[in-house]
Amino acid sequence: MESLLSRDTHTLSVYVSNKPGVLARIAQVFARRGYNIDSLVVSSSVDGEFSRMTITAKGDPGGLEQIIKQVNKLIDVLHCVDHTGESAVVQELALIKVAAGPEDRGEALQVAEHFKCKTVDLTESSMILMATGGTDKIDALVRMVHKYNIIELVRTGQVVMARGNQVT
């Protein structure tokens, strides 16, 4: 039976040179160790010379420690940090297109308001909701609007930033 520790989700921040092939080399480290990347978000830094990767993966903390060490040794990687359990802001964005005709729209909008969603598109038969927050909040919203027939769902995956003066 798999231990509870081995199912922990880890949120890694990887600061890299903004060059072709860096992502492939990092993904290869995870693949060689048998880890699946659950979500991956990459964005340029302020100056565009570097990029920040936020990677979430589930697995044994010991194996993940080895992955972090190997990633930190790669050329073009400035640092790789596991932010799991640290004081950090972790957010996700979701766009959810739901079927909501005139008869369901009021109730669907009440659910959206409860989750502090923004309605970014509205037609006679559907609407697109935009939600931000933690993964648990997005999961709960998806469960609540599921009864309105989700047409499409797009999620960014987690992004992380260390609080205060800590470096992400």
- Please list the pLDDT of the chain residue by residue as tens digits (168 residues): 333 333 578 899 999 999 999 999 999 999 999 899 999 999 998 888 999 999 999 888 888 999 999 999 999 999 999 988 888 898 999 999 999 999 999 999 999 999 999 999 999 999 999 999 999 999 999 999 999 999 999 999 899 998 888 888
Q: What is the pLDDT of residues 81-118, one digit of tens each?
A: 998 888 889 899 999 999 999 999 999 999 999 999 99
| CATH 3.30.70.260 location in the chain | 5-82
As its CATH architecture, domain 5-82 has 2-Layer Sandwich (3.30)
Overall CATH class of domain 89-161 = alpha beta
All residues at 6 or more sequence positions from 119 whose CB lies less than 8 Å from its CB, including other chains: 109, 112, 127, 128, 129, 130
Indicate where the chain has its CATH 3.30.70.1150 domain(s).
89-161
Residues in the chain: 168
Give the DSSP H or E segment for 63.
helix 61-73
pTM: 0.80
What is the rounded CA–CA span in Å between residue 37 and residue 99? 31
Within its chain, how far is the Cα of 26 from the centroid?
17
Q: Provide the CA 128 distance to its chain's centre, in angstroms.
A: 19
